[in-house]
Structure 1
């Protein structure tokens, strides 16, 4: 009997964790730092206010400005799960660009350059990211995560300038 109860609790473990992750207290704790980070990335990427609103799920302008003010002043507010998920995707995109490109400007240029990969259809990834859907953000994040994992992505300037090693370059000691 005791064993059955323990199994039941173990089965509920992941569900309990998910509930805690989305709990209002946790979202309140994460909201201001998440939005401050989002604003810094949006500034780096040179996003317009309209693009920022679309990436956040299109809150009203007054709500967006209130969030930004509260975040900058280290105030407290609570973002909903959708908005935090969108910000998380932006953070993942930013991190992946930092891994894939030698400097921030190259990563921003990649976001703004049209690409022929089927997922982009000749459009810049920034168009997909700012289409207003969570799916657009996740599509670009998944593409970049795949590129980080070794799936094909067009070579960048460092790759194109790479000179392969020759046997004489290998030193055994």
Structure 2
């Protein structure tokens, strides 16, 4: 009988992705508590990623890697939509009165820690860029 094994991910690449996501979340104005909930990492892992030590490595699971991917993809979509840094980095903290957001900032929604909320925010922001890829 075959057993399923979780894929093994390169620890250095996991650390690089986490460091990038942490840097983006900081530019969006996320608190440490929000960032740890969004990425589903411990405070100590978050603190290590924030230091950006090039030799640091970390093991992450599929859920954490998916969360990092969604943060990076939201950032990529915002880069297509906005030319100026104020909107690029400020959008996530701005109140949004469109459907689904109902006056809440996207950052507030994703800080709930739910991966479905993170994915829904990504989908809504990604749809704003249209066919610009």
- Superposed pair shares fold, TM > 0.5: yes
Tell me by how many angstroms 1:29 deviates. 4.7
Which structure dedicates a bigger proportion of its chain to helix?
Answer: 1
Correspondence list, 1:46-57, <5 A: 46-57=29-40
Correspondence list, 1:2-81, <5 A: 23-24=7-8, 26-57=9-40, 59-68=41-50, 72-81=53-62
Unaligned runs of 5+ in 2: none
Q: Higher RCO, 1 or 2 (CA under 8 Å, sep at least 6)? A: 2
Q: State whether structure 2 residue 130 is matched by structure 1 residue 146.
A: no
For 1:132, what is the secondary structure of its paired residue? coil
Q: 1:123 aligns with which of 104, 109, 117?
A: 104
Does the 8 Å CA contact 1:115/1:125 hold for their aligned counterparts? yes
Tell me by how many angstroms 1:111 deviates. 1.5
TM-score for both structures, normalised by structure 1? 0.65
Does the 8 Å CA contact 1:27/1:79 hold for their aligned counterparts? no
Tell me by how many angstroms 1:23 deviates. 1.6
Count of residue pairs brought into register by the alignment: 127
Structure 1 segments, 4+ long, off by >6 Å, are none
Unaligned runs of 5+ in 1: 1-18, 151-173
Structure of higher CA gyration radius: 1
* 1-structure distance, mates of 2:62, 2:83: 33
Does the 8 Å CA contact 1:55/1:131 hold for their aligned counterparts? yes
Tell me what 1:16 maps to.
Answer: none
TM-score for both structures, normalised by structure 2? 0.82
